[in-house]
Amino acid sequence: MSSFGKTFHVEKRWKLVREMGSGAYGVVVSAADEISHETVAIKLVTRVFEKVQLAKRALREITLLRHFANHENITGLIDVDAISPDFQEIYIFMEPMEGLSSLEIDPEGFVTERWQPIYTKSSSLGRPLILRGESFRPSALTSYVSNLACTGMKYIHSASVIHRDLKPGNLLVNSDCELKICDFGLSRGFDATPDEHINGYLTEYVATRWYRAPEIMLAFR
Exposure pattern of 5-28 as b/e (b: 16+ CB <10 Å)? ebebebeeebebbeebbeeebbbb
Coil, strand or helix at 146: helix
Segments of 106-199 assigned E as strands: 111-115, 129-131, 134-136, 161-162, 171-173, 179-181, 188-189
Q: Which residues pair with 173 in a beta bridge?
A: 179
Cα(137)–Cα(139) distance, integer angstroms: 5
- Sequence letter at residue 108: E
Catalytic status, residue 191:
no
Catalytic residue among 79, 165, 191, 195: 165
Question: Known catalytic residues?
Answer: 165
